[in-house]
Amino acid sequence: MLSLLIFLPLAGAVLLALLPRERQAAIRWAGLAASLATLLVAARLFQIFNPASGDMQFVAHATWVPTLGIGYAVGVDGISLVLVGLTAVIFPLALLGSWGSITERLKAFTMSMLGLETAILGTFLSLDLILFYVFWEAVLIPMAFLIGLWGSENRRYAALKFFLYTMAASVLMLVAIIALHVIAIDGLGERTFDLARLATLSLPPEVQGWLFAAFALAFAVKVPIWPLHTWLPDAHTEAPTAGSVILAAILLKLGTYGFIRFGPTLFPDALLAAAPLLAALAIIGILYGALVSWAQTDLKRLVAFSSVSHLGFVMLGLAALNVQGFQGGLIQMINHGISTGALFLIVGVLYERTHSRLIADYGGVAARMPRFAAVFTVVMLSSAALPGTNGFVGEFLILLGAFRTSAWWAALGAGGVILSVVYLLWAYQQVMHGPLVAKHPDRLVDLTRRELAVFAAIIVMIFAVGLYPRVLLDRSEATVNAVLARLQRPAATAVTVSPR
């Protein structure tokens, strides 16, 4: 089932290759059908998943390169399940939302999107470190093409910066993976990259520290954690709307997922030691991202910097190292994907009509686009964490978890909540109210039925998570408890390895 889920989008991309590029309507519908079929498989997986178990489920394993101990191993637990669900939901919405803006090289664009979905799902579901690394790096190729071919004026610069930043950091992770393999030969007497087998190693603290640093750098760049965030605003600003949605909603979560998946499992001592540093960087990111967002004149760049702030909340929850913080961080990943993805779609709607992202070029839009104004209001309030919306659930749990670890962490993090309300309300007021100052007011046409369908689905998710988060919390709680238990695992249960 998991293999079907991973490779179904790729199969759709292969079928798209057989269609003539002139048949744009057929290409759009075929791409949407492939992503919707993936969503149906993910929905079935969500339905039959056993929330009472904290172990990996639906595990499939096959030998890939036996001489090196590399295997094809996939599985899902409560953490990866919700991220797989987010991925399966966002891709059809992003594809449908791009129908009005992508007209050139449509076939290549749709194939890139479907290939990207396969790479992301493979990353979330891999249980072999080499397989994980292959999918992790495969994500870069279609994403770089999306930015470089369908982006704005400085798209090539942004695509190259994105590719070099993320790939350079990931090389050190590959070195650490190889080091773990060598250690496993001595400690376990076998060649393996299997995560479950490597988790039985009890590495000395100094070895854990170096290996965790290599993994953490790759994950920190992908999140991105301040001060490794400088590639993100350029990539967001220059990417097409669909690319920005995928980048914000899903790709940034690969980094936070990496911290959850590999930190407690392979490097528990190093993670405990690094938690205060991660919390400090997270708090700086929360406050810095919010303040810089407030200073932006480009609406899309404002939303881009807001991601630095919101992902800082996720890292603060993870650094708390307790159930509330971890579950809050996990829920906030979902919430950020929904709300910030919707904000980029909102910016895309305005840009398609006026070809401007400057806040000063708008004003009084609500009078010309009342349905758009209603959607913008709901999404803005969800991003500002209004109680009853999805954003409140995640930030509340994160601050609760942070307070249980350190009252100062919670107090400083709460400052970011206040600042997010300020810059979001300011941006909304500048764009939607006041006198109409658009250069081409006749182009401010209200939402089409296709756009309404996309935003209606998003609004349903905003209130569904905000009013009934138990659906996600129940499915992740057992896994989160199992992951945190590894931070206090007894040494007798593991194979001890001495540094060489």
Residue 169 · residue 218 · CB < 8 Å: yes
For 158: left if phi > 0, alpha if psi spans -120 to 50, otherwise beta; the answer is alpha
The closest alpha carbon to 438, from 351, 327, 346, 322, belongs to 351
DSSP conformation class of 68 = G
For 486: left if phi > 0, alpha if psi spans -120 to 50, otherwise beta; the answer is alpha
Give the per-residue pLDDT at 439: 67
Q: How far apart are CA 78 and CA 60, in angstroms?
A: 17
Provide the residue-wise pLDDT of the chain in tens; the chain has 500 residues. Answer: 999 999 999 999 999 999 988 888 899 999 999 999 999 999 999 999 999 988 899 999 998 888 888 999 999 999 999 999 999 999 999 999 888 787 888 899 999 999 999 999 999 999 999 999 999 999 999 999 999 888 878 888 888 888 888 888 888 999 999 999 888 887 777 888 889 889 888 888 888 999 999 999 999 998 888 888 888 888 888 888 888 899 888 998 999 999 999 989 999 999 999 999 999 999 999 999 999 988 888 888 899 888 889 899 999 999 999 999 999 999 999 999 999 999 999 998 988 888 888 888 888 888 889 999 999 999 999 998 899 999 899 999 999 999 998 898 989 988 888 898 999 999 999 988 877 776 677 788 888 899 999 999 999 999 999 999 999 999 999 999 999 988 875 443 344 554 44
Residue 69 Ramachandran class (φ > 0 left, ψ -120 to 50 alpha, else beta): left
Residues 263, 121, 1: CA angle, nearest 5 degrees:
110
Could you list the beta-strand ranges (E) of 137-272: 201-202
3-state SS assignment for residue 417: helix
Q: Of 297, 290, 304, which Cα lies nearest the Cα of 362?
A: 297
Q: In whole angstroms, what is the distance from residue 38 CA to residue 403 CA?
A: 39
Q: Could you state, in order of their start, the residue ranges of all structural domains in the chain?
A: 267-467
As a whole number of Å, the end-to-end CA separation of the chain is: 41
Burial of 355 (0-12, 13-18, 19+ CB in 10 A): exposed
Distances, alpha carbon 147 to alpha carbons 186, 218, 242, 426, in Å: 44, 21, 10, 29
Query: What residues pair up with 71 in beta bridges, in sequence order?
Result: 63
Tokens 């971890």 sit on residue: 326
Q: Please name the amino acid found at residue 79.
A: I
